[in-house]
Amino acid sequence: MLNYYGRLSSEVYDIDKPIGYSFGDVEFYMNRLKNCKGNILEPGTGTGRILIPLLEKGLNVEGFDSSKDMLSICKSNCQKRGLHPKLFEGKMESFSLDIKYDAIIVPTGTFLLLYKREDSLKALRNFYNHLSIGGRLILDISLQTDMEIGIVSTRTWECSNGDIITLENKIVEVDYINQYTISHGRYEKWREGVLLQTELEYFPLRWYGIEEFKLILESIGFKDIMISSDYKLGKYPSNPEEIITFDAIAAK
Ligand SMILES: C[S@@+](CC[C@H](N)C(=O)[O-])C[C@H]1O[C@@H](n2cnc3c(N)ncnc32)[C@H](O)[C@@H]1O
């Protein structure tokens, strides 16, 4: 297994999508949670991009992540703002806590990183079991529209000290039967033309059909499932590029 949300990848995430950076999700989730007085959990919280604005609105959000590097950036981002949420290392498919949450949120494409079907089901069952009666799961997925093997994309970022980080990303596998793609991301950090650090990331991404995902949620026990797209509440998707949000109740 290659590196996964390692040091360079985490540093790039924080530069590229700083705290509060929104795909439309920060406002959408804030609005959906505004009356939530209880505890909220964000699995795969990353650098705190969305966790921190929610905390600053007065919501009781906790987060966990499987990447030590992401968590360490998240802790530092929280400390800089005088915030001290509960943050811990854990995996969506196996975390186990004594507490029940009023809401569990998984914005953007994080849930699609669980590319093995069994892991994704374990994670959804786990979310269900950690929700209080009537608690809500709000989770985003997106469709895969770009699945050509060998296509390479490159990007470059400048760090605050002038170092340059480059990323070359390539899709190396498309598994149509099991519904996932695997990309390799090659990160390199440069200072005045000298290579300081490099990292190869293994990046899987699963895809689902929209109605397929709704049926999966129902099979776990979720009720009153609402589908939104493009962060417009209740708008059924009409364009394959849109982010699709599922809002489901753990009726129990
Ligand atoms: C795309 S980032 C999103 C971060 C944050 N939720 C946001 O919206 O900005 C995905 C995060 O999920 C974490 N992650 C990936 N697989 C995970 C798993 N199985 N359990 C917990 N976290 C996971 C990664 O380490 C990474 O920090």
* pLDDT value of residue 1: 52
Q: What is the mean pLDDT of residues 96-109?
A: 96
Q: What is the pLDDT of the chain when averaged over all its residues?
A: 96
67 Cα: distance to centroid of ligand 1 (angstroms) = 8
- At 140, the pLDDT band (50, 70, 90 cuts) reads very high
64 Cα: distance to centroid of ligand 1 (angstroms) = 9
pLDDT over threshold 90, residue 210: yes
- Of 64-78, 143-157, 175-189, which range is least confident? 143-157
177 three-class SS: coil
Q: What is the mean pLDDT of residues 127-149?
A: 95
Q: Which amino acid does the sequence have at 135?
A: G
- Which residues does a 6 A CB cutoff place in the pocket of ligand 1? 5, 17, 43-46, 49-50, 65-67, 70, 91-93, 107-110, 113-114
Q: Could you give the CA distance from residue 184 to residue 49 in angstroms, rounded to a whole number? A: 24
DSSP summary character for residue 90:
-
pLDDT over threshold 60, residue 136: yes
CB contact at 8 A, 54 and 78: no
Q: Could you give the CA distance from residue 252 to residue 195 in angstroms, rounded to a whole number? A: 55
Nearest-atom number in ligand 1 for the CA of 46 is 27
pLDDT over threshold 90, residue 2: no
φ and ψ at residue 145, rounded to 5 degrees: -115, -5
CB contact at 8 A, 61 and 41: yes
Residues 6+ apart with CB under 8 A from 100: 39, 130, 131, 132, 135
Q: What is the mean pLDDT of residues 71-85?
A: 98
Q: What is the pLDDT of residues 7-62, one digit of tens each?
A: 999 999 999 999 999 999 999 999 999 999 999 999 999 999 999 999 999 999 99
